[in-house]
Amino acid sequence: MAEQQAAKSALPFHRRHRKKLIALAVILLLPLVTHFVIVLWTRMSPPAFAVPNLGAVSQEGEQRRLGRSYVRSRGKVLEVRLVGSPEEIGHTHSRLLFDEMVASEGQLYATLDGLVPWKPFQWLIFDVARVIHAGADQSMSGDRLREIAAQAAAFQPDPFADRFPTFQRLVYLNSLYDIALGFEHSPMMGCTSFAATGAGTNNGHTLLARNFDFEAGSVYDEGKVVFLIREEGKIPFASVAWPGLVGVLSGMNADGLSVVVHGGRARATQAEGEPVVHTTRALLSEAHDVDEAVALLEQREAMVSHILMLSDAKGNAVVVERAPKERPFVRRLSGTKLALTNHFEGPLESDPKNQRVRESTSTLSRRARLDELLANDVPIDVARAVEILRDKKGVGGKELLFGDRTSLDAAIATHAVVMDSTDKVIWVSEGPHLLGRFLKFDLGRLLAPDYEPSQDEPLLALPPDPTYLDGTYQQWLEAGAKHHGVE
């Protein structure tokens, strides 16, 4: 026995611990092998498309132009016209906004690096995303897939290719709103909107106003874009978003149909279904009024639960509550004003997820304050709509600390808009948040087929928020920009 032990001790280390080393190798290699299997299994192939031959980007003063499209600064907001087929729109999008797209996407990874600094954990997160959203491209329309494919092909050199292949990554980014809504503590649960029409406004027009609260980084506030989309065979529309997004979060079409998206939680998220920002884009591209938009929603499947508010030039305004495998519930205008925050009020009201939203977020506080502000008989105009969106008080006019999440304006919005469906005009916040000016974009002119921008066009705007001018905001920043109230 002693001789056997001595003989074993004389063997090299790798022979004495052969089984242990094999087990260790398996443990170390299995995650790597699994990673490569997942990458191969979930790989997406872009559809075939013809690459547009549009030549080089030209500079004309402060405008960049490519083909029939252009980008220019209007105050602190970028105005971007994209014209043509889905392929041409996608191509010009990347060519004209390459640097801005890099900054926008880079902010996401900077946030991720701060939250999850260890790379193997990031790979795990990406692999889980690959598996959960393996068929995301199969839920998108052919037009949007070709647009994203052209966008990906023109996004070169791609500084983020080491994270995902370009086309696959852009597919995921266009589903980002749906992916984020799937998380229990989604950053999409702070939006506030209202509509006013008829006797509810000072001139009988229909207004839709909204705060888009999205805490994903300052670049989404400071680098916001007003897209002017003229897709062949579709209704032209405007969308307020960020560089790279091909869908609609807040927008209006040339006929005055307006739509905004709110986060909401009910039912189970599913991998199938169309990304909500593509659904809203289809509404603006194909529907002339609220009734046509609601009919289109009946034909489309939701990937995650959410809430839409729509208005049109005929004076109609509705809220549409949607969830996977559920028929849309339409809450129509009763009277002259309609309010919306982030909870369901129809058949999904009792859903446990919706109840958690009601109990653990600011949705009820904001709704109660919004109802108060809308309850008086004073007709609303654009300036008053902006005042309501900027309201920083609690229920009953209670004074709150700057940045309180239970207020309508908690200094977390990346954009706010007031849309006049009657006049086809949209007013867009310049930033930071809702504190800067609101700039006027006359869609009747900007979406016209013969419109050409000029260097000397006047910029019409509503003034900044008083707290931006009196130093309150700066003091809040210097004190650490802390938010209060419900988290």
CATH number at 452 reads 3.60.60.10
Per-residue pLDDT at 152 = 97
Beta bridge partners of 158: none
Is residue 426 within 8 Å of residue 443, measured between CB atoms?
Answer: yes
Q: Which two tokens stand for residue 386?
A: 């902006």
* Mean pLDDT of the region 240-250: 96
* Mean pLDDT of the region 378-382: 93
Query: Is residue 204 very low, low, confident or very high in pLDDT (cuts 50, 70, 90)?
Result: very high
* Mean pLDDT of the region 210-233: 94
Per-residue pLDDT at 48 = 93
Q: Judge whether 271 lies within some domain.
A: yes
End-to-end alpha carbon distance in the chain: 68
Q: Judge whether 404 lies within some domain.
A: yes
Show the domain range for 219.
178-478
Query: Is residue 43 very low, low, confident or very high in pLDDT (cuts 50, 70, 90)?
Result: confident
Q: Judge whether 131 lies within some domain.
A: no
CA distance 385 to 333: 17
Q: Judge whether 12 lies within some domain.
A: no
Query: Is residue 182 very low, low, confident or very high in pLDDT (cuts 50, 70, 90)?
Result: low
CA distance 470 to 483: 20
Residue 174 has pLDDT above 90, yes or no: no
* Mean pLDDT of the region 120-143: 80
What SS3 state is found at 455? Answer: coil
Q: Judge whether 151 lies within some domain.
A: no
% of the chain surpassing 70 pLDDT: 89
Which of 42 and 449 is assigned the larger pLDDT?
A: 449
Per-residue pLDDT at 394 = 96
* Mean pLDDT of the region 470-478: 96
Q: Judge whether 152 lies within some domain.
A: no
- Going by the DSSP 8-state scheme, the letter that residue 395 receives in this structure is G
Q: Which two tokens stand for residue 436?
A: 């800067």
Per-residue pLDDT at 51 = 84
Whole-structure pTM value: 0.91
Q: What is the 3-state secondary structure (H, E, C) of 96-159?
A: HCHHHHHHHHHHHHHHHHHHCCCHHHHHHHHHHHHHHCCCHHHHCCHHHHHHHHHHHHHCCCCC
Query: Is residue 139 very low, low, confident or very high in pLDDT (cuts 50, 70, 90)?
Result: confident
Residue 382 has pLDDT above 90, yes or no: yes
With b meaning 16 or more CB within 10 Å and e meaning fewer, what string describes 303-327? bbbbbbbbbbbbbbbbbbbbbbebe
Which of 304 and 92 is assigned the larger pLDDT?
A: 92
Q: Is the peptide bond before 432 cis (omega within 30 degrees of 0)?
A: yes
The Cβ of residue 21 has, within 10 Å, a number of other Cβ atoms equal to 13
Angle between helices 166-173 and 142-154 in degrees, nearest 10: 130
Residue 187 has pLDDT above 60, yes or no: no
Per-residue pLDDT at 289 = 98
Query: Is residue 115 very low, low, confident or very high in pLDDT (cuts 50, 70, 90)?
Result: confident
Strand 63-66 relative to strand 58-60, pairing: antiparallel
DSSP output for 40-100: HHH---PPP-PPP-----EEETTEEEETTEEEEEETTEEEEEEEESHHHHHHHHHHHSHHH
Domain count, the chain: 1
Query: Is residue 272 very low, low, confident or very high in pLDDT (cuts 50, 70, 90)?
Result: confident
Per-residue pLDDT at 226 = 98
Per-residue pLDDT at 62 = 86
Is residue 171 within 8 Å of residue 151, measured between CB atoms?
Answer: no
Q: Which two tokens stand for residue 211?
A: 């705060």
Query: Is residue 22 very low, low, confident or very high in pLDDT (cuts 50, 70, 90)?
Result: low
Which of 129 and 327 is assigned the larger pLDDT?
A: 327
Residue 138 has pLDDT above 70, yes or no: yes
pLDDT tens, residue by residue, 412-430: 999 999 999 999 999 999 9
Residue 335 has pLDDT above 80, yes or no: yes
Per-residue pLDDT at 122 = 74
Q: Judge whether 119 lies within some domain.
A: no
Q: Judge whether 172 lies within some domain.
A: no
Lowest-pLDDT range, 23-37, 51-65, 310-324, 379-393? 23-37
Distance of CA 155 to the CA centre of its chain: 20
* Mean pLDDT of the region 82-97: 98
Q: Is the peptide bond before 449 cis (omega within 30 degrees of 0)?
A: no
Per-residue pLDDT at 129 = 72
Residue 18 has pLDDT above 70, yes or no: no
% of the chain surpassing 90 pLDDT: 72
Query: Is residue 268 very low, low, confident or very high in pLDDT (cuts 50, 70, 90)?
Result: confident
Residue 390 has pLDDT above 90, yes or no: yes
Is residue 381 within 8 Å of residue 202, measured between CB atoms?
Answer: yes
**Which residues have CB under 8 Å from 52's CB, separation 6+?**
67, 84, 85, 87, 88, 91, 92, 150
- Measured CA distances, 378 to 100, 333, 337, 366, 462 (Å): 42, 18, 12, 20, 20
- Mean pLDDT, the chain, rounded, equals 90
* Mean pLDDT of the region 296-317: 95
Per-residue pLDDT at 403 = 95
* Mean pLDDT of the region 244-269: 95
* Mean pLDDT of the region 324-345: 95
